[in-house]
Chain A
């Protein structure tokens, strides 16, 4: 179970993107990389799932750890 809450940038509705609440009625369902707001239907990309973001974040984390030591 994810503890991550995603706030829709359009309507402000908070939901867990990994629960795919809006996906049940969608023909693509969970196979796309979109996160769709169950309240308003706004579709965007979930940066938490982005490999590029994770990679860049890991570089910054390593640099920060190196600075601490």
Chain B
């Protein structure tokens, strides 16, 4: 039976269990097969549906090897990961062998620092060395072993290379004399907790760290083994620490680990210079270069402009809306509706100016669909080719020089999610005021790249200059949002590890599959809203409310924004959803009712609206109706303010009149 040991202690050469731990898909099972041979048992871990394999170690007598389920990090986030942690906490372990992916060293080391602190003899097996070599990734194993005070063994498990050295290392393994230095407040609290936690199979410090990170399994174990007074003290410690840090201790601990990993990674990783010199690899490196990367980004944006704007919003929309719907389908439907439905208002409801078919369905299928299809195709290409993570790395470098964290902003800008994810990230903030302000800022500028793509595509159908001006304004707002949010967020934001896959030609089946799935999602979101919007516009028009609102909004829409009064209808649509309003403006532009300047001003204003009415409900669900309406009341005037200022500025320079 193993108990945690003092640092540097070697354990007897046989007996107990050895746990193979690591991320999914790193070759743990192949290593397991090499170490155990033919006779293994596979069974559900007690009380779970998760299968765990056990086998006798071939070269180490009376020792069982356990192949644990893949774990990304601890505390566990899934049942599989819980089982891995249960093995670590409850099994009589004589050693932990982490199997890591050599080409993703930083991600591997993030788990290493947690396992090496457990007070159990430890070995790091860096597997898939062939793939690392192919990528030009070279690791100084000796230096890494020195930093983590544990054996680091390179292997290529699929070829059986390095297994002998691994077996020897496991037999000679010992408890590493290793710890991550956490901030002073955390270290002081750890010293207190370490003296109070019951004896466990892992080191007291490891258990204390799990407690501070609110690890549920560790909490459960401590609750079973500690008395009431101790539990109370431990709880008070954690609450006090969180109050002193003004953020959860788990965030600080994670950040310290990430910083450690970054530091070690930069010391032990080498560019061999003999690595991958293929065109793809060189282009991949250029994509994140501070100068060349910007040039490549400009080319990508131009490609996006051409593909989504010229092809999607121009050629395809002309074909669908102009020819197919405009000359074939809609006239037919109009004729038959008027024939079959003698009730005028009902016919109008279906095929009139604000008809369910003529507005709702036509907008969605003839106008939005071609633009969003080309946008999703382009996005799918960027994802599948491996360019998207490089864009994030490049933007992080740019934003960091301005005091922003691109890694925090880019997932929200590029993601399809609405303000829900943005709202989620505010949960870690302790101050109500800060949470509110960040939600407000994020709702103003950021989410739903699909809607932004549609607006961009429509503008691109107008001119490159219009797209450029819109892009500059939206980017400026985004930077202001990011800067203000960074100012308000307490403490430093945790770093984000990004895995850069090789740059490659996209696999077209992947791109088409993603595009199809996204189109299904988008149409499911858009169609009901467009139909509801059309119905609402019809009713407002019928009862005279639309005309009244148009007259009432004239000082704002015509006087301030410089738009024709009819644009009010598009803005009303925009309240429901940005791209609905943008479509209305696009139709006006195609009918020659808007100048290029007016299109840009209107599109910028609409872009700064709340993304859609659903996000109002989401904020209400998260923060309450008062907050939600308050945000609406603040964002809308701000959108009109920016639009009006842009109008004045463009008039002054005489652009687009």
Of the 9-residue stretches B201-209, B418-426, B460-468, which lies at the interface with chain A? B418-426
Complex CA–CA separation, A42 to B391 (angstroms): 14
Bound form: Cα–Cα A16–B622 in Å: 25
Q: State A43–B414 Cα separation when bound (angstroms).
A: 8
B496 nearest CB neighbor, chain A only: A40
Q: Which of B72, B497, B513 contacts A14 (CB 8 A)?
A: B72
Complex-state Cα separation, A37 to B412, whole angstroms: 11
Give Cα A45 to B480, complex, Å. Answer: 29
Is B352 in the interface zone, CB < 8 Å from A? no
Near B by CB (< 8 A), chain A positions 13-49 give: 13-16, 19, 21-22, 25-28, 32-34, 36-47, 49
Given contacts A26-B420, A41-B412, A10 and B78 within 8 Å (CB-CB): no
How far is A25 from B499 in the complex, measured between Cα atoms in Å? 25
In the complex, whether B427 has a CB less than 8 A from a CB of chain A is yes
A13 touches B427 (CB 8 A): no
Give which listed residue, A16, A36, A49, A50, contacts B78 with CB less than 8 A: A16
Q: Are A40 and B407 neighbours in the complex by a CB distance under 8 Å?
A: yes
B24 at the interface (CB under 8 A from A): yes
B141 within 8 A of A: no
Residues of chain A contacted by B519 (CB below 8 angstroms) = 52
Question: Judging by beta carbons under 8 Å apart, are A10 and B411 in contact?
Answer: yes
- Which residues 580-597 in B have Cβ within 8 Å of A in the complex? none
Most A CB within 10 A of own CB, among B388, B414, B423, B520:
B520
Whether the pair A53, B517 counts as a contact (CB closer than 8 A) is yes
In contact, B416 and A41 (Cβ under 8 angstroms): no
Question: Roughly how many angstroms separate A22 CA and B410 CA in the complex, as a whole number?
Answer: 17
- Nearest neighbor of B79 in chain A, beta-carbon distance: A1
A42-68 contacts to B, CB under 8 A, are 42-47, 49-53, 56
B498 touches A (CB below 8 Å): yes
The reply to whether A12 and B517 form a contact with Cβ atoms under 8 Å apart is no
Contact A11 B421 (CB under 8 A): no
Partner of B389, one of A10, A19, A21, A27: A10
Whether B41 sits at the interface, judged by CB under 8 Å, is no
Is B196 interfacial (CB-CB < 8 Å)? no
Chain A at the B interface: SS class:
loop
Query: Chain A contacts of B521 at CB under 8 A?
Result: 33, 45, 50
Distance between A20 CB and nearest chain B CB, rounded to angstroms: 10
CB distance from A26 to the nearest CB of B (A): 5
Q: A10-B411, A15-B72, A53-B513 are in contact. Are A45 and B416 (CB under 8 A)?
A: yes
B619, chain A: closest CB distance, angstroms: 8
Q: Is B400 an interface residue (CB 8 A)?
A: no
Closest to B410 in A: A10
Could you say which of B49, B79, B415, B498 contacts A41, with CB atoms under 8 Å apart? B415
Please determine whether B517 and A26 come into contact, CB atoms closer than 8 angstroms: no
A28 to chain B, nearest CB (A): 5
Contact between A19 and B77, CB atoms less than 8 A apart: yes
A1, A26, A51: which contacts B421 (Cβ < 8 A)?
A26
Which residues of chain A come closer than 8 Å to B389, judged between CB atoms? 9-12
20 A-B contact pairs sorted by A residue (CB < 8 Å)? A1-B79, A9-B388, A10-B389, A10-B414, A10-B415, A11-B498, A12-B500, A13-B497, A13-B499, A16-B78, A26-B423, A27-B424, A27-B622, A28-B618, A33-B521, A41-B425, A44-B416, A45-B520, A47-B516, A50-B516
Other A-B contacts than A5-B24, A15-B72, A27-B622, 18 sampled, CB-CB below 8 A, are A1-B50, A1-B80, A11-B496, A11-B497, A11-B499, A13-B499, A14-B23, A19-B77, A34-B416, A37-B411, A38-B77, A42-B411, A44-B514, A45-B514, A50-B517, A52-B519, A53-B516, A53-B520
Query: Which residues of B are at the interface with A, using a C-beta cutoff of 8 A?
Result: 23-25, 49-50, 72, 77-80, 104, 107, 383-384, 388-389, 392, 407, 410-412, 414-417, 420-421, 423-425, 427, 496-501, 513-514, 516-521, 524, 618, 621-622
